[in-house]
Structure 1
Amino acid sequence: MKRRFIVIVLDSFGVGYMDDVPEVRPEDIGANTCRHILEKFPKLQLDNLEKLGIMNALGEEVGAMKKSSFCTYGKAKLMHYGGDTFFGHQEIMGTLPRKPLMKPFSFYLEKVYNALLEKGYKVEKVGNNLKYLLVNGCIAVGDNLETDLGQVYNVTSTLSELTFDEILKVGRIVRQNVEVARVIVFAGENSSIESIKAAAEEKEGTYMGINAPKSRVYEKGYMVRHLGYGIDPETQVPTIMGKDGQNAILIGKVADIVENDHGKSYMGLVDTKTIFDITLDEIDKINEGFICVNIQETDLAGHAENTARYAEILELSDKYIEKIMEKITDDDILIVTADHGNDPTIGHSRHTRENVPLLIYKKDMQNTFIGVRDSLSDIGATAAEYFNIKMPQNGKSFLNKL
């Protein structure tokens, strides 16, 4: 008997801005990642997402895409503050989100500067008004400009000068000296000292950092690690599964941001085809277990405000989802969802606070609407009930609706 619970996170594939957006994120009013991409490409046909009920979750038909007459679907609100990949995945795994510390990097700049000097690094403060730190001439430390300002800091570098492990050492020093939710360490082969410096930007007279897409880090050989703060993995599904002796497998960006010390993690992966190929292989290898997959290239296309690239990754993902559906046996459950939005047409390059689809596939499934869930944690809670393990910190299972 095969008994697998598979979650595919199409990173940033939201289905419409949340009701609280006018109050908490007015810049996201009108955001609808799914609808706006389909409007830009009305001939785009995503047969398997359509079958699973993506247009039902959206609530309307757009272009060539129609509602499914037989599917199990719902939507989930974001319980976490803003719209964030790190918080979104912690929430999926069962963490109760709390509002993060919001401070510009300037608040910690002197502390980080001194800590790096004490470790023997050469550190410069760069900028005319606001400053970012340049470490050993090729590692930039400053505000993340692509997510909610003030809760994430970036450590940006180039693999043409250093190994990723050397860059990560700097990131860990930063992490030890700040209390915001995330420090993201990343580098690429096409980025250079010059391209990183040229991508330095100020925002709102308060935030100073490197514009990641403009720095060219994403173009080739991209490597990344997300260093979180204040998350207790003991309350999350992968750790609970692993400590119970069951398989917990994380593939793609989720492996970079969710702890899984007792399971298997495929870290540092970005290429969609590679991630799905590994997923298919792991589905074949195990008879029982939890698999969570993140497809990041949709989100990167959203940050780049590139609707054509976003549509291309959706098409590729749709083909692979069909291959996964073909492997689903009687007791397996497949969920396709997202972690927030990233509408490439909204007029800014940051995540958008959107409801996300919950598309569920099971062999004996009935035609069912599972409702609008209050939290992404309902996914983790459902997995916990499915495997009969300790419930995570947050979430309400919808297993009884399946």
Structure 2
Amino acid sequence: MGRFIIVVLDSFGIGYMDDVPKVRPQDVDANTCKHILEARTDLYLPNLEKLGIMNALGEEVGKMRFSERAVYGSSDLMHFGGDTFYGHQEMMGTLPKKPLIQPFNEVIDEVYAALKKQGYEVEYVGDDLKILMINNCVTVGDNLETDPGQVYNITGCLDVIDFEGIATIGKVVRSAVSVSRVIAFGGKDVTIGDVLAARKEKAGKYAGIDTPQSGVYNRGYQVIHLGYGVDPEVQVPTILGKQGIPVVLLGKVADIVENPYGTSIPGVDSAWLFEQTIEQVRNMRHGFVCLNIQETDLAGHAEDVDQYADRLQISDRYLGKLMEELTEDDVLIVMADHGNDPTIGHSNHTREKVPILVYKRGLTSRTIGHRKTMSDVGATAVQYFGAGKTQNGESFLFLLRS
């Protein structure tokens, strides 16, 4: 037994999915990988080329060529839309459920009743479109920064209530609603007055807190993401952790996937995160590591091809260093979680197929095929450790045997 490592190049998709014309027409023609390479014909990524990124894409672009030694495949997204949070839950073995899209004001009375039942002091704030205030230090309303109607925010003042208290309120709200996500968070040096002063309305249907304006990001920020239908007990980190297998999550995955028995290292800077990953790998004889490189996704949101290309170059260089640390017992998978084509004409995620590139010393020249769900990666990881099964996915470990 060795180390099983996943590196997620956040949003580095390889072409829009077959269902896009019907379910997400704004993403027709999206192809993050291809379009970046077409826009930057000077861009060369030797390690990703060796791993088979062009093989997974299905064509050569710019300076990038097919690899004769690649072990590669691709995957559809089983979750609704194209989302980092749900992409990683799927990857870790969760069977995605389709959530509702619903403005908070359509369920505000149910949430009010659920919170009152648990003994909280709850007040309505606003006129026609309302939010809730709990114990004079926490608010509940629509998330105004993401696709409308999919996420509710719990915003708290950490000088008045501790983070555990905010998370507990979040879990009560989560139990009462069926949208994609409830995000519970708070910051220090922020009063309830600051939070309420940042209350805004959007499109005549949504009311919530403008999070950057509220100041909760500025000091002591803590957050937990609570997804619809997500059971950590059937996910890779919990399954492995319960059996004493070391688990390390780094980058954004550390913020969004529960890891009760392992180590979570949040962060954003790509080079720093890769250095931390290499250090963790060096210090473990066997175990599971998952790294998310978020800066590629941030460049996609900014519609900045050059920044995206720069983050890919950094990632490619560190992938070479990481591969040097691995033995014949180790498995490295490099993949994405969705797309975010900076050339498509909008700044949101794009619903794209993702590459699955496999490195195992001594293993060459084969395909793992096109998978119907990214959960196949999680299923492969738990089988690698002989640790049981995830809720969703089919292992392709048998294809990685010499």
TM-score (norm 2): 0.84
Which runs of 5 or more residues in structure 2 are unaligned?
none
Contact 1:146/1:303 (8 A) holds in 2:
no
Q: Secondary structure at the match of 2:126?
A: strand
Distance 2:327 2:130 in 1: 55
Alpha-carbon deviations, 1:59-98, whole Å to 9, x = none? 2222232222321111011111111122211111111111
Establish whether residue 239 from structure 1 lines up as the match of residue 238 from structure 2. Answer: yes
Contact 1:5/1:332 (8 A) holds in 2:
yes
Closer/same/farther in 2, CA of residues 154 and 314 from structure 1, 3 Å limit: farther
Q: Secondary structure at the match of 1:6?
A: strand
- The Cα shift of 1:169 comes to 4.1
- The Cα shift of 1:389 comes to 1.6
Distance 2:219 2:288 in 1: 31
Taking the TM superposition and a 5 Å limit, the aligned residue runs for 1:184-223 are: 184-185=183-184, 200=200, 202-203=202-203, 205-209=204-208
Distance 1:14 1:363 in 2: 25
Taking the TM superposition and a 5 Å limit, the aligned residue runs for 1:143-222 are: 143-145=142-144, 147-155=146-154, 166=162, 169-170=165-166, 172-178=168-174, 179=177, 180-185=179-184, 200=200, 202-203=202-203, 205-209=204-208
Q: Secondary structure at the match of 1:255?
A: helix
Contact 1:12/1:299 (8 A) holds in 2:
yes
Distance 1:221 1:42 in 2: 42
Establish whether residue 253 from structure 1 lines up as the match of residue 252 from structure 2. Answer: yes
- The Cα shift of 1:349 comes to 2.6
Match of 1:67 in 2: 66
Aligned length: 394
Establish whether residue 307 from structure 1 lines up as the match of residue 308 from structure 2. Answer: no
Alpha-carbon deviations, 1:19-69, whole Å to 9, x = none? 011111112111112222223322222221122111221222222322223
Distance 1:306 1:312 in 2: 10
Worse-matched range after superposition: 68-77 or 109-118: 109-118
Closer/same/farther in 2, CA of residues 297 and 139 from structure 1, 3 Å limit: farther
Task: Report the AA paired with residue 173 of structure 1.
Answer: I
- The Cα shift of 1:371 comes to 0.9
Q: Secondary structure at the match of 2:7?
A: strand
Distance 2:141 2:55 in 1: 41
Task: Report the AA paired with residue 233 of structure 1.
Answer: P
Q: Secondary structure at the match of 2:355?
A: strand
Contact 1:146/1:350 (8 A) holds in 2:
no
- The Cα shift of 1:335 comes to 0.2
Closer/same/farther in 2, CA of residues 103 and 315 from structure 1, 3 Å limit: same
Closer/same/farther in 2, CA of residues 59 and 332 from structure 1, 3 Å limit: same
Q: Secondary structure at the match of 1:57?
A: helix
Identity over the aligned pairs, expressed in percent? 55
Q: Secondary structure at the match of 1:70?
A: coil
Alpha-carbon deviations, 1:341-386, whole Å to 9, x = none? 1222323332211100101111111211211101101101111221
Taking the TM superposition and a 5 Å limit, the aligned residue runs for 1:103-118 are: 103-112=102-111, 115=115
Q: Secondary structure at the match of 1:346?
A: coil
Distance 1:315 1:226 in 2: 30
Match of 1:84 in 2: 83
Distance 2:102 2:390 in 1: 29
Distance 1:215 1:14 in 2: 34
Task: Report the AA paired with residue 3 of structure 2.
Answer: R
Task: Report the AA paired with residue 333 of structure 1.
Answer: V
Q: Secondary structure at the match of 1:341?
A: coil
Contact 2:252/2:294 (8 A) holds in 1:
yes
Distance 1:122 1:51 in 2: 58
- The Cα shift of 1:146 comes to 5.3
Closer/same/farther in 2, CA of residues 188 and 307 from structure 1, 3 Å limit: farther
Cα RMSD after superposing both structures: 3.4
Contact 1:84/1:147 (8 A) holds in 2:
no
- The Cα shift of 1:392 comes to 1.1
Match of 1:317 in 2: 315
Distance 2:43 2:271 in 1: 19
Match of 2:95 in 1: 96
- The Cα shift of 1:388 comes to 1.4
Match of 1:271 in 2: 269
Alpha-carbon deviations, 1:100-133, whole Å to 9, x = none? 233222223345567499745887338xx75556
Distance 1:97 1:331 in 2: 31
Which runs of 5 or more residues in structure 1 are unaligned?
none
Worse-matched range after superposition: 224-233 or 281-290: 224-233
Match of 1:396 in 2: 394
- The Cα shift of 1:4 comes to 0.5
Alpha-carbon deviations, 1:213-234, whole Å to 9, x = none? 8989889987543223432222
Contact 2:198/2:211 (8 A) holds in 1:
no
